[in-house]
Structure 1
Amino acid sequence: MARPRPATFDKKKIVAENRRARFDYFIEDVFEAGIALQGTEVKALRGGEGNIAESYAEVKGNQVFLVNSNIPEYSHGNRENHEPKRPRKLLLHEREIEKMHSAVSRKGMTLVPLMIYFNSTGRAKIELALAKGKQNHDKRETIKDRDWKRDQQRIMRDKG
């Protein structure tokens, strides 16, 4: 008889989010990738520390690395603590890496991390997007649309 599976939590715990990315870039494709972390990095992330605001991902050969992400040192760690801004390897399938490599090299796109979270099984994952940069006039249109939607909600709430 098979052993019963442990109960999983449905909600994913978001550790770090790059909210500015959706404003600065047109998001084309979104990928979920695992992150190769050291022990103290996982403990720091579980504590809610971490920043991916200035980070990006790059393809080197047939591997993808997360560059310039900041996971501060674990407060209760010892001399074996990790480096806060080291490049971290991302775990993806080969066909996903090929798709990213071709888009970055040919189409002039960039790989932007959107969020780091723990999935339902408790593993650290990163949501990575293939994105194209917005110009200033595109950003102004985004602001105008966001304000109009907010006004629509206000009008509907007042009339309703």
Structure 2
Amino acid sequence: MRFLIILFLIQRQYNKNCKFFLKSSDNYQLIVADNRGLKDGYSVTVQATKMKRSDGVRVLVGNNIKLTNPTVTPIDNTVSTLYSPTVNESFYVDAVDLNGNSIPTVVEIAPAKKAGLSVGWTVTWNDSHISLNTAPGVAAVGNYQTIITWTLNDVPEK
């Protein structure tokens, strides 16, 4: 389990739907190396706490941090793409259900493989593929933060 904290600074209040991107030099990677020697696959889920302003007064409801269009590359170039994971092309890190409760989102599912084979994949999201989306009048000026939890799950072969 890895934790990642992303900070967004909202510099003024907007009265329309807004989308903010990270600066162009930022890249975020999810790297999974499966050296278990088992045939089982794996999945990765992500879940985040609600974004809170630093003073704790303002809270964003959810469905704000969006990741899109990742690139997937093998850690070792000798691995067949047959074992390439399926990666969600567009999802909210801070997804919520109809009651506003935080729910996990599947990010990556790797298929079963040959026993004894070690595989690893790097999933990368760069600057323009990580955005903060807010509804009109919801986010007030300030620093907002959330804690993002990535969970690696075992997916037994069927």
Q: Which of the five TM-score ranges fits, normalised by the shorter chain?
A: under 0.3
Max radius of gyration: which structure?
A: 1
**TM-score, normalisation: structure 1:** 0.22
**TM-score, normalisation: structure 2:** 0.22
User: Which fold has the larger relative contact order, with Cα–Cα distance below 8 Å and residues 6 or more apart in sequence?
Assistant: 2
- Return the structure number with greater strand share: 2
- Return the structure number with greater helix share: 1
